[in-house]
Amino acid sequence: MNKIICTFITVLLGFNMFVNAQNNKNVFSATDSILLLKTTKHKGFGLIGPSGVGDLYFINADHNSLNKVFKIPHNIDSAQIALEMLDLVGYYDFKKSRKDTAALYYWLGNKDIDITGFTKHAGIKFFIAVLKGKSDDSVVLIVDQNNNLDFTDDTWRSIAPIQRNSTASLIPFRYEIFNDSIILPASSWINIGVDKNGDILNCISQHVSASFFIDDKPFTIVVNSNGGCFDYYATAAVTEEDGKQKDTLLFGDILQPGEYLKLGNQYYRFHSITKDGTHITLIKEEHFAEKTGTQIGMIAPDFSFNSIDNDTVSLGDYKGKYLLIINVTACWSRVSSYKHYKDLTEACAGNLEFLGIDYSLKNLQKPIEDFNLKGKFVIAEDNNLIQYSYRPDYSSRVCYLINRAGRIESKFEIGDWEEYLGRFTNPQL
């Protein structure tokens, strides 16, 4: 049955892609079941905001024959090269399609791989290369912007503190992705800088937007990627509805593939975005009100968990009440999530019921003592149901407010609790 459904959707998508391909203006009818949106790419993260940054790992240029693959300026001393992977899945699919079992492991520091034979035909162009070296005792960075394995035709840059929200220092570059057996050219922007510890960090900073009409009503949605490919950890949000532009986005406005965008009075599932970000597919959903999940407006997933006190906690215990499910984590933040938990539970006591979730009991035991935390806690580590529903990430700090009707009323990061729970701190509620 599942195979039949998948085949039907694939055929339907193909038909709609053919029809919508004729529609370069992104104009649709409310009766259309599938919207294929053509996008425009922009530098920076846009309203959705920045994603994470990662370290650049540099290797001496004479290591693994790097200096035979890349052309390095003769007046650069102590040259080191780092490679940032932009299409990991595509890279290995490409290697597999060539029946080439040798992987480009040197970017992880493997000392035994000679990469002299690795050229643009071996998948090296799925990376962005960055050179660090010295010139007149000053440290300089060079990005292989043309992706031609040649640093001599690129701009030299000094190292400055990384500015994640700024577009002023973004560096444009070209690369390639591997999609359905085809190598496609791509372009983006990279942000490079140092943190307070002097480590060199980077992030790919790009997003796409699609402006379109449904029955003469204008909408705009944006999609961010966490890396060089838009189908990897994509997030989407509606930024314009019926001609009204949003200045900011709430946490609950930002959705992932499989979740539902509200466009007017209708919901559309964020089905997919192409790897290169050129097209977004939305599928109309007629029965959103019947859906169960953790998206705002959905029926809250039912549960029955054992607490750390060995009693059973179920959603039914809170019928007719407001319940706040609070994820806490031992992972670092400027203000500990355990401190936020203590503050909000004390401020909202009597107006909300609380259920805390941590990943492991080992992480939770000391904060309970240090902060004198009260309330019921459950552990996600060995409970697939918790991980599937209310804690999909190891270090989650997300809170879910379930209303008296058993639906998700809001969701937010624990550090923003005062903004979202102000009315529950009122003793007159």
Three-state SS for 54-108 is: EECCCEECCHHHHHHHCECCCCCEEEEEEEEECCHHHHHHHHHHCCCCCCCHHHH
Q: What is the mean pLDDT of residues 256-276?
A: 96
Q: How many CB atoms lie within 10 A of CB 339?
A: 17
Q: Taking the mean position of all CA atoms in its chain, how far away is CA 111?
A: 32
CATH superfamily of this structure's domain 304-425: Glutaredoxin (3.40.30.10)
Please, where in the chain does CATH 3.40.30.10 lie? 304-425
Angle, helices 337-347/361-371, rounded to nearest 10 degrees: 60
Q: What is the pLDDT of residue 187?
A: 95
Could you read off the pLDDT of 300-354 as tens digits, one per residue?
999 999 999 999 999 999 999 999 999 999 998 889 999 999 999 999 999 999 9
The residues facing 140 across adjacent strands are 133, 158
Return the pLDDT at 100: 54
What is the rounded distance in angstroms from the CA atom of residue 151 to the CA atom of residue 98?
Answer: 28
Task: Over range 132-144, report the average pLDDT.
Answer: 94
- Please give the pLDDT value at position 42: 96
- Per-residue pLDDT band for 125 (boundaries 50, 70, 90) equals confident
What is the value of pTM for the model shown? 0.86
Mean pLDDT for 37-60 is: 91
Report how far residue 154's alpha carbon sits from residue 167's, in angstroms, rounded to the nearest whole number: 19
